[in-house]
A and B are shown apart, each in its own frame.
Chain A
Amino acid sequence: MKKKGKLSQHFLCAIGCLLFLGACARRLEQRQGDQAGLQREQPPQTALADDDGQWVRASKDFANTRFSNLNQIDRANVNQLKLAWTFSTGSVRGHEAPPLIVGNTMYVVTPFPNYLYALDLTKPGAPMKWKYDPRPAASAQGVACCDLVNRGAAYANGRIFYNTLDNNTIAVDASSGKEIWKAKLGEINKGETMTMAPLVVNDKVLVGNSGGEFGVRGWLTALNAGTGQIAWRAYSTGPDADCLIGANFAPHYDHDRGKDLGVSSWPPDHWKIGGGTVWGFVSYDAEQNLIFYGTANPGPWNAEMRPGDNKWTCGVFARNPDTGEARWFFQWNPHDLYDWDGINENVLVDLNINGQTRKTLLHPDRNGYLYVMDRTTGEMISAKPYVNVNAISGIDTKSGRPIHVEEKKTQAGKVVRNICPGAAGGKDWSPSAYSPRTGLLYMPHHNICMDDEGVEVSYIAGTPYVGANLKMYPGPGGNRGEFTAWDPVAGRAVWQIKESFPVWGGAVATAGDLVFYGTMDGWFKGVDARNGELLWQFKCGSGVIGQPVTYRGPDGKEYVAVFAGVGGWAGAIVAGDLDARDTSAASGFVNVMADLPNHTTRGGMLYVFSLP
């Protein structure tokens, strides 16, 4: 009762604070903006048909290739690439988002407090057109897991859509910066947050939640792009009705068929706080009218308390975007032991495999295996390790299930050493790029193993508890990061660059046969897509964990842009100013990142490059 009063006070405060700074109502030049509207974004589903001058969603195209046909900057001239202009975001947390380019405007979304800026590309130095401040609840910081990141926005039909840490999806008028609608979808007070980049498909804005460690139940929600009304919500755990599993659900494997497996693959009621959040990227195949997205790890129980496959966590769903209805599901890691979220990107490409063209889905999972899936059926075509893996010995070709190595299984109170990959997996959220010109997938990832050293005393909310004392350290070779060009047909790496720090940001591939990515110590690099040769690099003011993009400016020149601003899980030691002596802080990541503060400092800045 008493609390009610206090809450409404906070609520009133939030309402009272909803003032927009974006007073500038100057009309945008709509020339190209309109072209990028919804109608134009219908099939064909790859980037190739879209306008490569723009970058209207985080992953460039529906297929999530992050490939651009721009080729003005190429292998011959990239060494002349120069800084064109910069923009400081005013935020010091981990900057994981890509800028969007729509017509003659660039849009950037920052980590908490989730500002949205519009920058005018027609003017020298790209001055600010407007700034939108969503005024997220400040308490979001206290209850949010991990670093306070945001992974980007999406443009469609004259609107910018993005999520705030305190669980609002917001539609902002792209030309005026005025809020059109705001939909509150989750409860920050229950540990739920939103960090992912929405995808707009047909007339739906697709968004998911974060916070699996807190006993949050994961979901993907479709909002009507026009009104912000919820069209459907599909949970990742629980009864079929909640998971939108119906008559048309046809998973390839027997163990995924049956009634209410999202309930029966858990001890009673555990699914209610079962995790399976949805914080990665969504991809879309217009031809089949199917979306694909991963579900995170089960929570909050340790594995022994949740015997069973814990469906539908740590897997990938294929769904109809209009109704949410599930078509198929595949579980990368049934009964997850290692915090291996299944949210890594799903890149949709058609490959010639054994003389046949297969519609595939490429997924580098946290378990260290690169999966090639048939995206029409959910059948696993192949799975090959792309990093050093000793926790599982392979993926069973008949069942698609990982084969666990017994002595690497974790258990409370048991000390297990040298688990590879560690809790962050062989690769985390950092999105890959795929070039149809080389047929290679370019993966930013890491090479980190861990010891699970049993228990240490910790406490939360006044309650002492015992935590797994995870200590992470570099895997074989001593390099913590890797940037790998992977041939998904041959199932092998074609080239690989070793990096000192985990490669925590995304990649972009271009028709200039270049691939760009950044490092946590602040180097932004352009390498030869064919052989990985380093052709150009620039030292940014802070570590790079953002998603680089390329676009054509109003002056006809090709630009490459990326956020610097270290942070995220791996970079929390800098962004969160963690104590390097506390080796298990940020869930064990600090131990392996202790030297990062010697190499970079925090601070969000957008860097834009072009040829002279």
Chain B
Amino acid sequence: MCFRFPRSRWSVASGQCSVTLLFALIVFALSASCARLSEARHARQAGHSVRARKLRVCADPNNLPFSNERLEGFENKIADLVARELNADVEYTWWAQRRGFMRNTLKAGACDVVMGLPRNFEMAQTTAPYYRSTYVFVYRRNGGVKIDSFDDPLLRKLKVGVQVIGDDGANAPPAHALSNRGIVGNVSGYPVYGDYAEESPPARIINAVASGDIDVAIAWGPLAGYFAKRQSVPLEIVAVSPRSDPSLPFTYDISLGIRRGESSFKEELEHALERRHGEIQKILDDYGVPRA
């Protein structure tokens, strides 16, 4: 273990062994010379004998720390574990995780599993969760700022960055938490869609903390934990409190998503998640995913 996460506060040093760890991860390159993101591309595991069974997974090819087409995301690793448990090979269909993702992937039959969906997400059947994370505050450790609550008066003065979705009134819960408190004028929005031409578009909000563009970011934990470790200045990551506002949860159970009605497959996956629980937690630790 490189880090130990206290219950509600994570100190994340830059570099250290995480980098080593990252480099230790096997990188698979795809020979997709004229490939397009919307086309199904198949990544076969190197170093394995080909198994008859396929675990067909739909994932975003450019969305670390969750997944990418070089299989560097933690959901890529967890998919591997689950597949191994099912004696199967992972076969990917890549599609940007944006509006229409579920419709064009799982529902279209392009795959059988989507990794990392919130539990009870309406558009799929979800398994028992394999982790639970939280929205977090992110700020520079040496910036003279300490914050762990939406009710901290400091939030009205600092330059605050928050993830925005903006899809017909939809937004990340922290954006609502801020507006409910009238914290508006000092808040900048970082579209969670970002610029897909860049590497891992949602990372911008964390980079902005390191660069000093903003004093504090409020971001989804896995994203924050991973990118905070990759900055040149040490960043502090603290779970938001309270843990929920009326009807606005800030912590979410995360599950695998499959089509409705496939109950024996669900049981099979849950069994695999359970058996590999320890290894999954290890992967999440390695990627700096805050747990709640």
Which positions in A face B, CB cutoff 8 Å?
2-3, 7, 9-10, 13, 16-17, 137-139, 141-143, 145-146, 187-191, 213-215, 267-270, 273, 275, 299-307, 339, 410, 412-413, 423, 452, 454-468, 470, 576-579, 582, 584-585, 587-588
Q: Can you list 6 A-B pairs, Cβ within 8 angstroms, ordered by A?
A: A137-B36, A139-B96, A267-B184, A302-B169, A461-B98, A462-B67
Contact partner, B169, options A7, A339, A463, A576, Cβ 8 Å? A339
Does B95 reach chain A (CB closer than 8 Å)? Answer: yes
Is the CB–CB distance between B165 and A460 below 8 Å?
yes
Contact partner, B197, options A189, A268, A306, A576, Cβ 8 Å? A189
Name the interface size band of chain B.
35 or more
Are A7 and B103 also in contact (CB < 8 A) when A138-B38, A457-B118 are?
no
Is the CB–CB distance between B175 and A305 below 8 Å?
yes
- Distance of A288 Cα from B208 Cα, bound (Å): 47
Q: Which B residue sits closest to A468, measured CB to CB?
A: B169
Does B163 reach chain A (CB closer than 8 Å)? Answer: yes
Q: Which B residue sits closest to A303, measured CB to CB?
A: B169
Q: Which B residue sits closest to A305, measured CB to CB?
A: B179
Q: Which A residue sits closest to B183, measured CB to CB?
A: A305
For residues 175 through 195 of chain B, which have their beta carbon under 8 Å from a beta carbon of chain A? 175-176, 178-180, 184-189, 191-195
Is the CB–CB distance between B196 and A143 below 8 Å?
yes
Known A213-B99, A300-B191; 7 more pairs at CB < 8 Å:
A9-B33, A142-B37, A190-B194, A304-B179, A307-B184, A461-B194, A579-B103
Enumerate chain B residues within 8 angstroms of A304, measured Cβ to Cβ: 176, 179-180, 184
Is the CB–CB distance between A423 and B168 below 8 Å?
yes
Enumerate chain A residues within 8 angstroms of B103, measured Cβ to Cβ: 576-579, 585
Interface residues as binary, B51-79 with A (CB distance below 8 Å gives 1, 0 otherwise): 00000000010110011000000010000
Contact partner, B97, options A423, A461, A587, Cβ 8 Å? A461
Enumerate chain B residues within 8 angstroms of A7, measured Cβ to Cβ: 197
Contact partner, A459, options B100, B121, B176, B248, Cβ 8 Å? B121
Does B269 reach chain A (CB closer than 8 Å)? Answer: no
- Distance of A3 Cα from B189 Cα, bound (Å): 24
Enumerate chain A residues within 8 angstroms of B169, measured Cβ to Cβ: 302-303, 339, 410, 412, 452, 467-468, 470
- Distance of A2 Cα from B120 Cα, bound (Å): 36
Enumerate chain B residues within 8 angstroms of A584, measured Cβ to Cβ: 122
- Distance of A10 Cα from B62 Cα, bound (Å): 14
Enumerate chain B residues within 8 angstroms of A268, measured Cβ to Cβ: 185-186, 188
Q: Which of B3-11, B136-144, B198-206, B228-236 contacts A (4 or more CB under 8 A)?
A: B198-206
- Distance of A137 Cα from B191 Cα, bound (Å): 22
Enumerate chain A residues within 8 angstroms of B39, measured Cβ to Cβ: 138
Is the CB–CB distance between A466 and B170 below 8 Å?
yes
* Total number of residue pairs linking A and B with CB closer than 8 Å: 231
Does B173 reach chain A (CB closer than 8 Å)? Answer: yes
- Distance of A339 Cα from B116 Cα, bound (Å): 30
Q: Which B residue sits closest to A275, measured CB to CB?
A: B166
Are A459 and B117 also in contact (CB < 8 A) when A142-B95, A465-B170 are?
yes
Enumerate chain A residues within 8 angstroms of B173, measured Cβ to Cβ: 465-466
Which positions in B face A, CB cutoff 8 Å?
33-39, 60, 62-63, 66-67, 75, 95-101, 103-104, 107-108, 116-118, 120-123, 163-173, 175-176, 178-180, 184-189, 191-199, 201-202, 220, 222-223, 245-249, 252, 254
Closest 10 CB pairs of A and B: A300-B166, A467-B170, A468-B169, A189-B196, A138-B36, A215-B191, A142-B96, A304-B179, A189-B197, A462-B66
- Distance of A553 Cα from B220 Cα, bound (Å): 61
Enumerate chain B residues within 8 angstroms of A146, measured Cβ to Cβ: 99
Q: Which B residue sits closest to A466, measured CB to CB?
A: B173
Is the CB–CB distance between B196 and A456 below 8 Å?
no
- In the complex, what's the smallest C-beta–C-beta distance from A297 to chain B, in angstroms? 9
- Distance of A10 Cα from B94 Cα, bound (Å): 15
- Distance of A339 Cα from B168 Cα, bound (Å): 6
Is the CB–CB distance between A462 and B122 below 8 Å?
no
Q: Which B residue sits closest to A190, measured CB to CB?
A: B195
Is the CB–CB distance between A455 and B179 below 8 Å?
no
Is the CB–CB distance between A214 and B193 below 8 Å?
yes
Is the CB–CB distance between B165 and A190 below 8 Å?
no
Interface centre among B165, B184, B192, by most A CB within 10 Å?
B165
Enumerate chain A residues within 8 angstroms of B164, measured Cβ to Cβ: 215, 273, 300-301
Enumerate chain B residues within 8 angstroms of A190, measured Cβ to Cβ: 193-197
Are A462 and B176 also in contact (CB < 8 A) when A215-B189, A299-B166, A300-B166 are?
no
Contact partner, A301, options B35, B98, B189, Cβ 8 Å? B189
Enumerate chain A residues within 8 angstroms of B175, measured Cβ to Cβ: 301-302, 305
- Distance of A576 Cα from B199 Cα, bound (Å): 29
Enumerate chain B residues within 8 angstroms of A462, measured Cβ to Cβ: 60, 63, 66-67, 75, 97, 116, 202, 220, 222-223
Is the CB–CB distance between B171 and A587 below 8 Å?
no
- In the complex, what's the smallest C-beta–C-beta distance from B10 to chain A, in angstroms? 18
Is the CB–CB distance between A470 and B196 below 8 Å?
no
- In the complex, what's the smallest C-beta–C-beta distance from A307 to chain B, in angstroms? 6
Is the CB–CB distance between B98 and A142 below 8 Å?
yes
Q: Which B residue sits closest to A188, measured CB to CB?
A: B196
- Distance of A9 Cα from B117 Cα, bound (Å): 31
- Distance of A460 Cα from B170 Cα, bound (Å): 11
Are A461 and B202 also in contact (CB < 8 A) when A142-B100, A268-B186 are?
yes
- Distance of A454 Cα from B247 Cα, bound (Å): 8
- Distance of A567 Cα from B39 Cα, bound (Å): 22
- Distance of A306 Cα from B175 Cα, bound (Å): 11
Enumerate chain B residues within 8 angstroms of A454, measured Cβ to Cβ: 247
- In the complex, what's the smallest C-beta–C-beta distance from A181 to chain B, in angstroms? 23
Are A466 and B38 also in contact (CB < 8 A) when A143-B196, A460-B193, A461-B60 are?
no
- In the complex, what's the smallest C-beta–C-beta distance from A106 to chain B, in angstroms? 31
Q: Which A residue sits closest to B65, measured CB to CB?
A: A462
Interface centre among A139, A143, A146, A460, by most B CB within 10 Å?
A460
Q: Which B residue sits closest to A137, measured CB to CB?
A: B36
Contact partner, A463, options B33, B123, B223, B249, Cβ 8 Å? B223
Enumerate chain B residues within 8 angstroms of A299, measured Cβ to Cβ: 166
- Distance of A582 Cα from B259 Cα, bound (Å): 13
Enumerate chain A residues within 8 angstroms of B189, measured Cβ to Cβ: 215, 270, 273, 300-301, 305
Is the CB–CB distance between B184 and A457 below 8 Å?
no
- Distance of A107 Cα from B188 Cα, bound (Å): 45
- Distance of A301 Cα from B186 Cα, bound (Å): 14
- In the complex, what's the smallest C-beta–C-beta distance from A579 to chain B, in angstroms? 6
Q: Which A residue sits closest to B182, measured CB to CB?
A: A304
Is the CB–CB distance between B187 and A267 below 8 Å?
yes
Enumerate chain A residues within 8 angstroms of B36, measured Cβ to Cβ: 10, 13, 137-139
Enumerate chain B residues within 8 angstroms of A412, measured Cβ to Cβ: 169, 171, 176, 179-180, 248
Is the CB–CB distance between A464 and B252 below 8 Å?
yes
